[in-house]
Structure 1
């Protein structure tokens, strides 16, 4: 992979293979007393945005708990939208590790058990550890929740208008 670091994590967004939907997820956690901004954006194998969503969540004790809650929300949303084959891209390494090997994370057993339940509603669910750079669109949407005080949940077709150029550039600059 020419566009990756020494750990094999890509530095730019990568398209999913045909038949899969890639959903990048991010939770903007500040501290244990603040609201959490969450966002996800789903794209097809051509880089076209299918849906995106953002929401404000009640406080979480740490970023890992916030990221797990946000990812559960994204998975439930994708299931409700009728997607069957999904890749979830996460930039928080500990979230990826916890989902990949829940037995080693007993403190988060309640959250992690929800992943097993949700996985049954899909034909294929795969989780990928993303670099911060390859997850920047989801990050920016999540950050806008708290920055702009947009605390209402929404789900929309396509991507947010204020990110269209960046999304188009990202989709056209990836390796096929």
Structure 2
């Protein structure tokens, strides 16, 4: 039935969830002596099927794929017309603020914007990094960026965004990321080595190190990192 082109796509796609939820309902009857109504079962089938295809949508190759660059020790520029945004969350513990930062550069290494902020109540670094991704994407969309690469040295976050169903503990935050990507013409996520992500790391570290908890968005790069940004540009 799933291969029959005469069957509507939505119906064909729902077949695995029909089988799965019938099985779950069977177990509820046998082991919990409860039974879900047909109406709720049909509703759950549709919702779970739509959520799965939303989270695992196959995007056009030119929109989401670039050769993996995480083996490079130095910062590499994006393709022409694309902004590369390096991000970092400086998480220390669940009881402290986390410093977060992003810096956006073009194909020539010129900095268009950078931003810094502090967040609270992040139980672990994974949550802090995903919140940093959400913040960066929101900011970039607000300033009119349409094609962007998000680069981080925390590769688990990049993996989670690409396969969200394998990270059920963070599914709510990952759904927010996916929703935000729909606002761009092109979004890609890349892993970086820490040496290639040093500028974003230092900006994020300055939040706790220097007590700079006031958020800001600025054009260009921070003056105290000017020399390093210039070297990476060259």
- Shorter-chain TM-score bucket reads over 0.9
Greater than 4 Å deviation, 4+ residue runs? none
Give 1:18's aligned residue.
Answer: 80
Task: Tell whether 2:180 aligns with 1:118.
Answer: yes
CA distance in 2, matches of 1:50, 1:9: 25
Measured after TM superposition, the shift of residue 29 of structure 1 is: 0.2
Instruction: Figure out how many residues of one structure are paired with residues of the other and give that number.
Output: 166
1:142 to 193, 204, 219: 204
Task: Say which structure is richer in strand.
Answer: 1
Task: Tell whether 2:122 aligns with 1:63.
Answer: no
Give 2:32's aligned residue.
Answer: none
CA distance in 1, matches of 2:219, 2:171: 33
1:160 to 214, 222, 229: 222
Measured after TM superposition, the shift of residue 171 of structure 1 is: 1.1
> What TM-score do you get using the length of structure 1 for normalisation?
0.93
CA deviation string 1:92-141 (max 9, x = no partner)? 01111111110100000110000111011000000000000000000000
Gaps of 5+ in 1: 1-6
Q: Which has the larger radius of gyration?
A: 2
1:95 to 157, 162, 166: 157
Task: Say which structure is richer in helix.
Answer: 2
Give 2:91's aligned residue.
Answer: 29
CA deviation string 1:139-161 (max 9, x = no partner)? 00000011000000000000000
> What TM-score do you get using the length of structure 2 for normalisation?
0.70
Task: Tell whether 2:139 aligns with 1:86.
Answer: no
CA distance in 2, matches of 1:130, 1:9: 7
RMSD between superposed Cα atoms in Å:
1.0
CA distance in 2, matches of 1:140, 1:108: 26
